[in-house]
Structure 1
Amino acid sequence: MAGLSSRSAVAIHALAMLANRREGSLTSAEIADSLESNPVMVRRVLGRLRDADLVWSTEGRGGGWSLARPPRNITLYDAYVAVEEGRIFSRHTRPPSGACEVGRNIGDLLDAEFQSAERALEERLDRTTVADLLQRILAADKEPADH
């Protein structure tokens, strides 16, 4: 099963950082520092976000990455679609035995369940904007650390 990569988490983290940056831009190195990750991988994810018109970049001194639209107009689903490939769930890598009643019948039934689960995930991600998430991030940072 392919499943979700970490690209969605990286993309959403980057979008939240960019939303938190009131003016100017951030470099991929600054975003990578927050992620404690490799700037090359961050640039790849940012490139996909740029291709989806969620961010834009400027070259040269003082350049970097910025949101292409207000954070209230970017959902977590937008980020997910921009960076993930294929389906979350997949069938067996090889077809199960047609001689077995479970093997004969499970494929189509699993497909229906998996499609329903993917739709639920997509609908949930589409309900949260980057602005919503950033508001919760900043509120969590103000909470006492002893909870």
Structure 2
Amino acid sequence: MLDVRFSRALQAMLFLALAAEDGSATLSSPELARRLSTNPSLVRKLLAPLTSAGLVGCVKGRGGGAYLARPAEEITLAEIYRCAVGDKPLWACSPEGERVCLVTAHAAEYFAALTAEAEDAVLAALGDRTLADSMGELRRLDEESARQS
């Protein structure tokens, strides 16, 4: 099963960025849940690490909700990714077996290095993009879609 935490966290952050652009103060967890087609409890779990990292702020109580704690131009996708997945590696290595040949002797070590290299590449690509860049890309895609219709 594929891990969708980053995808969901990014979508939530994009909804908050759009709300900020539209002048909305906050989005409630039920509203975010509706937009993400999930439940408010999952949204609150999704927002917890983003809030701890200072990317999202929350107003409690009636009429409260979540908001971007920093401008979208200052939030990188790498930060959102790290909040969403934590220290979980990109791929999990198969358990080591008996070391009886070249492959079984070194496969786990090789795979760990390969995974670390891929993770570094992912973080580098995401570190070069901000939430504001993503909003711009979504607008570009929307314009292309409208032209093709």
TM-score for both structures, normalised by structure 1:
0.89
1:9 corresponding residue in structure 2: 7
Determine the structure 1 residue equivalent to 2:102. 101
Q: Which runs of 5+ in 2 are unaligned?
A: none
Distance 1:40 1:146 in 2: 38
Q: Do the aligned residues in 2 keep the contact of 1:4 with 1:88 (CA within 8 Å)?
A: no
| TM superposition shift of 1:146 | 4.6
Instruction: Tell me which of the two structures has the higher relative contact order, counting C-alpha pairs closer than 8 angstroms and 6 or more residues apart.
Output: 1
Aligned to 1:90: 92
Gaps of 5+ in 1: none
Q: CA deviation at 1:62?
A: 2.0
Contact 2:9–2:47 (CA under 8 A) maintained in structure 1: yes
Partner deviation per Cα, 1:50-95 (whole Å, 9 max, x = no partner): 01110010012221110000001001110111121321123212x1
1:19 aligns with 2:21: no
Give the 5 Å matches for 1:48-59. Answer: 48-59=49-60
Structure 2 length-normalised TM: 0.88
After superposition, the Cα gap between the structure-2 partners of 1:98 and 1:88, relative to the gap in structure 1 and judged at 3 Å, is: same
Please give the alpha-carbon distance, in whole angstroms, between the structure 2 residues aligned to 1:91 and 1:47. Answer: 28
Range that drifts further, 101-110 or 40-49:
101-110
Give the CA RMSD over aligned residues. 1.8
Aligned length: 144
Counterpart residue number, 1:112: 113
Q: Which has the higher helix share?
A: 2
Q: Contact 2:16 / 2:26 at 8 angstroms: preserved in 1?
A: yes
